[in-house]
Structure 1
Amino acid sequence: MNARVALVQIAFVVFTLLLSVSVCSQLTVLVRLNDGQITEELLEADSEKDIITVEFRQTDGTLITFLSDFKRHVKIFHALVLGEPEKGQSQYQALCFISHLDHGELIPSEAMARLRQKYPHVVRSADERRSVEQFTMNAALNMSRSWHLSTHIHNVCRDARDLVYTRQQDVKYWLEKGSVFDVFPQSLNVTDLQSCSSTTDPWQPCACSYRLNLEWFPCQLKYCRGQGSNPYKCGIKSCSKGYRFDFYMPHKQLCLWDEDNYYP
């Protein structure tokens, strides 16, 4: 009798694990970057948590992570930038940018979880190139209470420490929606600061800029019409989009990439 109960318990555990796996998926896509190089892009979807994660490595070694939290209407950009020891930098520097996730920016997580590719060795190019979106990040998020806004912020941004930025307009939106979280009280007004690229003093506060591109992500579902009158899902539309972030840096030494990349 005990053996039978044990078998039932084991079967239940296996079934539970299968259920948990069924709501998650991983997809590796070959993508051509803006500089012509090819990289592997990892797309993960969890329909139970209602999130999509896109991760890839740029040619310079920077690791980019983009997470969309559909439940909390939050999108997270994380950049792990390799440092330059010859310029006095540490081995790496992490940046994190938090913003409001608009409806329709990506396909739903449940649709992403079911997405498969027939030819995994084909290098993908986006169907649509969307315009660059510029963010003026004028608030710093207090990481100690970020879980009230989204539990994923701490996991994605834990190595960014004090360099976790958002916008005052996003803060207002989330507070109106009932979220409870903290931003640091000081205003991070970057419009009155000199740009880091034109600052000569390495220890002077300045306005830093960072730009990244998501070269391929599923942005829209495609619908086809068969013999019946009701359309059905028959694929996805892919998009490419650039993002520019302007934000406060306590000193130029933390923004040395701005010397090498001028963003007009």
Structure 2
Amino acid sequence: MRPPVLLLLPVLPALLGAAGAARAELRVRVRLPGGRVAEERLQADSAGDSVGLELREPDGALVSLTADFRKHVKILRALVLGEQEKGQRHFQALCFLTRLRDQDIIPSEAMAKLRQKNPRAVRQAEEARGLERLHMDVAVNLSQGALLSPHLHTVCAEATDAVYTRQEDVRFWREQGVDSSMFKALPTDTEQALPRCGQAGDRGAPCVCHYGLRLAWYPCMLKYCHSRDRPAPYKCGIRSCQKSYGFTFLVPQRQLCPWGEDP
């Protein structure tokens, strides 16, 4: 059986803004690990040159990816549900920022043109991009977030003191002219010899937290078709991927890492 197709079609006039740039939203059904089906929301703003997706994980966490192509910033956010009977918060927000690369996700203009023939089709990723482990060794001052990307205040509003990135990404953004005052280097594991949060005894003590998330389905590449009527290949669809991330970062209190270890 052929997989359901997402097509790249001309943008409908109703989606065109005053300047002729498209803002669009698409909802697709995707199969999560374990077989559950969930609805994923895809958004594109070709005027602002950004795309986003949002999906609820099997454990209830709401995961989103925002790609800001102008500023070369990728924002991965998780709203993690807490167990209130254990004294945890209703939810906890985490934001992880990394440099956005061209091959990470399809461009905003292409995302805005996606249409699907069968909205009820359940989609599964064609390519598994594996697990990427990232040590987040820099804290980001959210109050100055607009200096890095205009999306930070909106996407990471609930995260406040839980916005992280890496030294290597900071170096790249500084070369692009971003003010370094919004970044604060965190002590390394070796400097403090801190335990993992799952092994720390004191709930109020600092420790090394681990959090894992998975993007079960997202448009990662463009597909090109050939036709007798066209001398050159043309964009005609997308290739979908899945990708997992494992983040490591320091927290000032063990209670800020209630999940303990990666799943």
The TM-score normalised by the length of structure 2 is 0.88
8 Å Cα contact 1:99/1:170 also seen in 2: yes
Q: Secondary structure at the match of 1:257?
A: coil
Instruction: Return closer, same or farther for 1:65/1:233 CA change in 2, 3 Å cut-off.
Output: same
Aligned to 1:225: 226
Alignment coverage as a number of residue pairs: 248
Deviation (angstroms), 1:67: 0.2
Deviation (angstroms), 1:178: 1.1
Aligned to 1:170: 169
Instruction: Return closer, same or farther for 1:230/1:186 CA change in 2, 3 Å cut-off.
Output: closer
- Which amino acid in 2 is paired with 1:236? I
2:246 corresponds, among 244, 247, 253, to: 244
Aligned to 2:194: 193
Which is further off, 168-177 or 181-190? 181-190
Q: Secondary structure at the match of 1:182?
A: helix
- Which amino acid in 2 is paired with 1:123? V
8 Å Cα contact 1:223/1:233 also seen in 2: yes
Deviation (angstroms), 1:58: 1.6
- Which amino acid in 1 is paired with 2:216? E
The separation in 1 between residues aligned to 2:15 and 2:121, in whole angstroms, is 35
**C-alpha RMSD of matched pairs (Å):** 2.1
Aligned to 1:130: 129
The TM-score normalised by the length of structure 1 is 0.88
Deviation (angstroms), 1:145: 1.1
Aligned pairs for 1:14-53 within 5 A: 18-19=17-18, 23-53=22-52
Aligned to 1:107: 106
Instruction: Return closer, same or farther for 1:185/1:113 CA change in 2, 3 Å cut-off.
Output: closer
Aligned to 1:211: 212
Q: Secondary structure at the match of 1:116?
A: strand
Q: Which has the larger radius of gyration?
A: 1
8 Å Cα contact 1:224/1:233 also seen in 2: yes
- Which amino acid in 2 is paired with 1:67? T
The separation in 1 between residues aligned to 2:94 and 2:20, in whole angstroms, is 31
Which is further off, 229-238 or 131-140? 229-238
Q: Secondary structure at the match of 2:39?
A: strand
Aligned to 1:95: 94
Q: Secondary structure at the match of 2:28?
A: strand
Instruction: Return closer, same or farther for 1:81/1:262 CA change in 2, 3 Å cut-off.
Output: closer
Instruction: Return closer, same or farther for 1:177/1:184 CA change in 2, 3 Å cut-off.
Output: closer
More helix by share: 1
Deviation (angstroms), 1:173: 0.8
- Which amino acid in 2 is paired with 1:240? Q
Q: Which runs of 5+ in 1 are unaligned?
A: 1-14
8 Å Cα contact 1:146/1:182 also seen in 2: no
8 Å Cα contact 1:31/1:123 also seen in 2: yes
Q: Moved runs in structure 1, 4+ residues, more than 4 A? A: 15-18
Deviation (angstroms), 1:144: 1.5
Deviation (angstroms), 1:262: 4.1
Q: Secondary structure at the match of 1:86?
A: helix
Aligned to 1:9: none
Tell which has more relative contact order, 1 or 2 (C-alpha 8 A, sep 6+): 2
More strand by share: 2
